[in-house]
Amino acid sequence: MGVHEKLRVLDHIYRVYDGFIAGRETACRRKCARCCTRNVTLTTLEAYKIAVHLVDSGKSGLFGKLAAAVDVPRFIPRVTTNALADICLRGEEPPEEPNDPDWGGCPLLDDGECPLYAVRPYGCRCMVSARRCDDAGFAEMDPFVVTVNNVILQYIEHIDRDGWTGNLTDLLLFMASEESRRRYRDGAPDHPPGGLIRNHPVRALMVPPRHRQQIAPLIAALENVPPASAPGG
C-alpha cells in the first residue's frame, strides 16, 4: 500500500472516530489544553501527514518550536500498541515506561490552541474526558471509550506497519526534512532514527469480552473503507 492510499485509509479512520465521539458527551472545549502535553506519540504516517500540511500551508516555522524543545524531558515509548498486545497475549509483563504530565505542555501550543488542530494525530484526538480535566486533575474516560481508543491505535499502527512510532517532537523533526519525507514515500528506511520504535501488524485486538458485541459496529465501519475516487472525481 502506497503512502497516498495509507493516508486515505487514515482519514477514513479519523472520520469513523469523529462520528463515534460526536455521539458521546464530553467536556472538551476550545482552549481546554490540559491534556496537550509533550508526551503525545504518533506513527510515521501521521507525522508525514502533519509535516506535509505544515510545509504546504507555510507553517514550517513550527518545526523550529519543536527543535527548541528537543532537550526537554518527554515520553519516549518503548513498545507500540500492537507490540503491547503481543506481550499480553504471551502473558508477559510489559516494560515500565516513565511518563509524567508535569514535563509540560506541547511545544506547539499557542495561547492554549493547537496550530495543527485539523491534522492532529490520533494520540491527540482520542484524549477526551467526561469532565473538565482542570476540575478532576485527569481525563475521565468511560471504559468502552478506552477500548475503542486502543483498537483504533492498533488499526493505525497496522496501516503503517512498515514504519515507526515515537514522540511527536521526534517524529515531526524527522519528517521536517524533505529527504526524510521522500524516503518515507519510497518505503521506510531499514533503520529508524534514535527514539523511534518499529511498528507491528495487528495480531489480536485488545477488546475485553464485555465490549466485544458493543464494538462490533465500529470495527465494521473501520473495515468499510470507501473506494478511491476516480481521478478528477
What is the distance between the alpha carbons of residues 181 and 53, in angstroms, rounded to a whole number? 12
Q: pLDDT at position 50, please?
A: 96
What is the distance between the alpha carbons of residues 229 and 233, in angstroms, rounded to a whole number? 6
Q: pLDDT at position 29, please?
A: 56
Which of the four pLDDT bands, split at 50, 70 and 90, describes residue 101? confident
Predicted confidence (pLDDT) per residue in 2-59, tens digit: 999 999 999 999 999 989 888 766 655 555 556 778 888 999 999 999 999 999 999 9
Among residues of the chain, what percentage have pLDDT more than 70? 85
> Is there a contact between 38 and 106 (Cβ–Cβ < 8 Å)?
yes
Predicted confidence (pLDDT) per residue in 195-210, tens digit: 899 999 999 999 999 9
Question: Mind spelling out the 3-state secondary structure of 177-201?
Answer: CHHHHHHHHHCCCCCCCCCCEECCC
Predicted confidence (pLDDT) per residue in 110-142, tens digit: 887 888 889 999 988 887 655 565 555 556 678
Among residues of the chain, what percentage have pLDDT more than 90? 55
Which of the four pLDDT bands, split at 50, 70 and 90, describes residue 233? very low
What is the distance between the alpha carbons of residues 126 and 226, in angstroms, rounded to a whole number? 23
Q: pLDDT at position 132, please?
A: 62
> Is there a contact between 191 and 160 (Cβ–Cβ < 8 Å)?
no
The chain-wide mean pLDDT, for the chain, equals 86
What is the signed CA dihedral for 214, 206, 77, 113, rounded to 10 degrees? -10
End-to-end Cα, the chain, rounded Å: 21
Q: pLDDT at position 75, please?
A: 87
User: pTM for the full model?
Assistant: 0.89
Q: pLDDT at position 129, please?
A: 53
| Among 57, 47, 53, CA closest to 168 | 47
